[in-house]
Amino acid sequence: MNGSFVLGFFFIVVGIPVILGIGGDMYKRHLKFKEKQLTLLSNETAEKAAQYAAHTERLEARVRVLERIVTDRGVEVAEEIEKLRDAPLN
């Protein structure tokens, strides 16, 4: 019975703090990993948003040109369309 008491006391004094320390360290590492994962995801999302914004800007510029062609009676429509075909898409 005395050996059992010493073993139990050893487990309470040494074992539980060691187990909790290891568990806490594992949890901290997991949180750091998740934080890095979220940072990478947010950077990727911001980059895609910038690409979409640039693409939308190019499309809006082309629509403005088309609107100008349609509404401006003095411009040769076929000539303007050919100019658009030759223009780089960026």
Residue 24 belongs to what H/E stretch? helix 16-71
pTM, rounded to two decimals: 0.50
Local confidence band at 75 (pLDDT 50, 70, 90 cut-offs): low
Q: How many domains does the chain have?
A: 1
State residue 10's pLDDT score. 78
Position 1 scores a pLDDT of 55
d(CA 80, CA 65): 9
Question: pLDDT tens digits, residue range 38-67?
Answer: 999 999 999 999 999 999 999 999 888 888
Percent of the chain with pLDDT over 70: 88
Residues near 89 by Cβ (< 8 Å), separated by ≥ 6? 58
What residues make up the domain containing 62? 2-86
